Structure 1
Amino acid sequence: MTVTRPAKGFFLTLAALYFAQALPVSMLGKAMPALAREAGLSTQWIGFLALPAIPWALKFIWAPWVDRWGSGRPNHRKRWVQVCLLAVIAVLGVVAMFPREWLLGPGFVVLLGLLFLLNFFSATQDIATDGLATRLLTPEWRGLGNSIQVNGYKIGMMAGSSALLILVDLWGWHSTVALVIAAMMLVLVQVTRFQEPAEPVSHQQREPVSLSWWWRELTRFWLRPGLLLWLLILLFYKVGDSFGTRMINPYLVDTGWSLSAIGTLELFASLMGLAGAALAGLIMVRVHRRRVLVAFALLQALSFVAWAWLASADNSVPATQVWLVALFEQFADGLSTVALFVVMMDYCRSSHEGSDYTMQASVRLFAAGLFTLLSGFSAAWMGYALHFLLAGLLSAAIIPVILIWKPPAS
């Protein structure tokens, strides 16, 4: 059997694109909470840093238009990606104009607005990137593609969280943001070099664009039988992770960790996440989808129980224990993330890959964003120990649903 290899340079472009998408997400979810806590913001205000991530949950609304406008021509989705990257670079340029102390103080609302724009353009880029990846990755290359996707994303998370915290401590705010802009420009150069082949125009893509067309595009995916249990899994599989992770860095700041120490920890923990993501790709080839999702959800739950155990002690917890728990938590996150993404791809219909994947991702991110928004209040009201314990319980709560769920034919 002849296996069709993706276009030349596709895998490098794929890794670069997911790296670029992760930068603003990691700045929002990892670096900013630590910087905000160091600046004296309360955990309640830090929880509001989840608000600018709303576009990631709502991107399904404009996903059909990203798939439709420019379809049938070469470089259809590449053009969308280029425009979004230019917009992200412009927003980062505005962010670099303001002092960090002002953004995390009197200008906090301005920061939220800029982060919203950053996430809007990154989420739109994600629609085009997911559609490009799902269309060009044949089943034979899907495992490698998912590993590259998650690893590229996690490397971007490392750059936007661990490296950013370290560099802000060493170089200052403006120089660090300028370096992020330079990295995004390099991604833009790689995307420009890649040539996306034209895709055939389907019958549904010839339908007149209207409100009813848009509604049909959004609902056709969910009208298939057997999707109710999968919807529940999408909603709740990663909420415990999002709920717990947001408060890890504020907890470390409150226990006396410096930004550079947190950044170093994040860096090595993210490397463990890369290892988990790579291992998950191999496991998914050999083990039934249901067993994998259950096992990885359990590991994710145990990791936050471990964080709760650390937080229940006094502030003199040995750094070695913190490192072990952080490494284990990120390893479990890498495993569970790849497992969920592979099954999401299994559910995508032919000729609707971009919209189908985006809708599933939006459902997942909507639930994760809601619980992340509440995380600051939870930590303030219950304390870090009970907050992390609740995150572990949320991670395990979906397991009974997975046990009665029937995976799709892949």
Structure 2
Amino acid sequence: MTVTRPAKGFFLTLAALYFAQALPVSMLGKAMPALAREAGLSTQWIGFLALPAIPWALKFIWAPWVDRWGSGRPNHRKRWVQVCLLAVIAVLGVVAMFPREWLLGPGFVVLLGLLFLLNFFSATQDIATDGLATRLLTPEWRGLGNSIQVNGYKIGMMAGSSALLILVDLWGWHSTVALVIAAMMLVLVQVTRFKEPAEPVHQQQREPVSLSWWWRELTRFWLRPGVLSWLLILLFYKVGDSFGTRMINPYLVDSGWSLSAIGTLDLFASLMGLAGAALAGLIMVRVHRRRVLVAFALLQALSFVAWAWLASTGNPVPATQVWLVALFEQFADGLSTVALFVVMMDYCRSSHEGSDYTMQASVRLFAAGLFTLVSGFSAAWMGYALHFLLAGLLSAAIIPVILIWKPPAS
């Protein structure tokens, strides 16, 4: 059997794009809250930093237009990515014009507006990138492609949080933002060099663009046979991970760990997550999708059972045991994330890759977000040990559905 290799330079472009997408997300979620607090901003105002992330939850609304506008023309999705990268660079340029003290003080509303634009353009780029990746990665290459995707994204998250905070302290605000702009420009250069293969034009792409067309584009995906079981998997495959992970650092703080010790642990655990994502790509080349999803869900469940065991032993917990469990949990997270993303690509229809993948991602994020919101109440009510045990049970609960689920035809 002949396996079609993706276009030349595609994997490097893919890694660069997902790295670029993660930077604004990590800046918003991790770096900005720390910088805002250091600048003296109250915790009530810091909470508003969650508002600019709204485009990531709502991007499925305009995803059909990203798939449609420019379809059939050369470099359809590449041009979307280029425009979004240029817009991100422009917004970052505006951010660099203002002093950090002003943005995190009197100009905080301006900062929120700029961060909203930053996330809007990054989320739109994500639609085009996911569509490009899904179209060009044949089923045989999706394991490796999603390993590169997850690792590029995780490295971008690390650069936009830990590295950015360190550089702001060493070089200052303006120099650090300038470095981020330079990194985005390098990504833009790589994307410009990449030649996107031509895509066919399907009959549905000739339909007049209207609100009824938009609604049909959003609903057609879910009306296919056998999608109900996949919807359940999308909703619940990663909720145990989201539910459990959010309370790991609070548990460590309550166990007497210092912030620097937790930061060091997080860094090395993230690196282990990269290794898990890389291994998952290799495994999925040879192993059936159902077996992989079941095996990785079991590993994710066992990792939280291990956290529950640590929490039940009382304080102080030996650091060696914490390190082993934390590394194992992130390794399992890397495995399961790649497995889920690969099957999400399998379900995407030709010429609808961006909107189909985005809708599935939105469903997954919605469920994970709901369980994350209640995780603090769960830990406070039941205690950490039972909370982590429940996270493990949630991770394993979807396995019966996976066993009766029929994967889509490749």
Deviations 1:332-381 (A, max 9, x none): 11100011011111212233222221211121122223333444555566
Runs of 5+ unmatched residues, structure 2: none
User: Take 1:114 and 1:278, find their aligned partners in 2: how far apart are those partners?
Assistant: 34
**Residues 60 and 289 of structure 1, relative CA distance in 2, 3 Å threshold:** same
For normalisation by structure 2, the TM-score amounts to 0.85
CA shift in 2, pair 1:75/1:336, >3 Å: same
CA 1:303–1:2 in structure 2 vs 1: closer, same or farther (change >3 Å)?
closer
- Which has the larger displacement, 384-393 or 95-104? 95-104
- Structure 1 residues 48 and 254, CA, compared in 2 at 3 Å: closer, same or farther? farther
Q: 1:107 to 1:264 in 2, by over 3 A?
A: farther
Deviations 1:195-232 (A, max 9, x none): 22332221111111111111111111111111111101
Deviates most, 274-283 or 50-59: 50-59
Retained in 1: the 8 A contact 2:221–2:356?
Answer: yes
Superposition deviation, residue 266 in structure 1: 2.9
- 1:379 matched residue in structure 2: 379
Instruction: Describe the shift of the 1:95–1:74 C-alpha distance in structure 2 as closer, same or farther (beyond 3 A).
Output: same
TM-score by length of 1: 0.85
Per-residue deviation at 1:269?
1.6
After the TM superposition, which of the residue ranges 337-346 and 153-162 deviates more from structure 2? 153-162
Query: Equivalent residues in 2 for 1:141-220 (5 A)?
Result: 141-168=141-168, 170-171=170-171, 174-220=174-220
| Inter-CA distance 61–160: structure 2 relative to 1 (3 Å threshold) | same
Deviation at 1:309, TM superposition (A): 4.7
1:279 deviates by: 1.5
* Paired residues, number: 410
Query: Relative to structure 1, is the Cα distance of residues 131 and 162 closer, same or farther in structure 2, using a 3 angstrom cutoff?
Result: same
Q: Aligned pair in 2 of structure 1 residues 327, 227: CA closer, same or farther (>3 Å)?
A: same
Distance 1:43 1:301 in 2: 34
Give identity over the alignment, percent: 97
Q: How has the CA–CA distance of structure 1 residues 255 and 192 changed in structure 2, closer, same or farther, with 3 Å as cutoff?
A: farther
Q: Deviation string for 1:45-104 (max 9, x for gaps)?
A: 888765543322321111110011111211211111112122223344455566767877
Give the distance between the partners of 2:284 and 2:270, measured in 1 at CA. Answer: 21
- Provide the rounded CA distance (Å) in 2 between the counterparts of 1:320 and 1:40: 36
1:6-48 C-alpha deviation (Å, 9 max, x unpaired) = 2222111111001111222333445556667888999998887
CA 1:86/1:391 → structure 2, altered by over 3 Å: closer, same or farther? farther
Q: Tell me the CA shift for residue 289 of structure 1.
A: 2.2
RMSD: 3.4
Q: Cα distance, 1:280 vs. partner?
A: 1.2
Structure 1 stretches lacking a partner, 5+ long: none
**Which deviates more from structure 2 when the two are superposed, residues 278-287 or residues 169-178?**
169-178
Encode CA deviations 1:245-297: one digit per residue, 9 max, x unaligned.
34444555666666655444333222211211121122223333223212212
SS of structure 2 residue aligned to 1:220: helix
In structure 2, the CA distance between the partners of 1:332 and 1:106, relative to structure 1 (3 Å rule), is farther
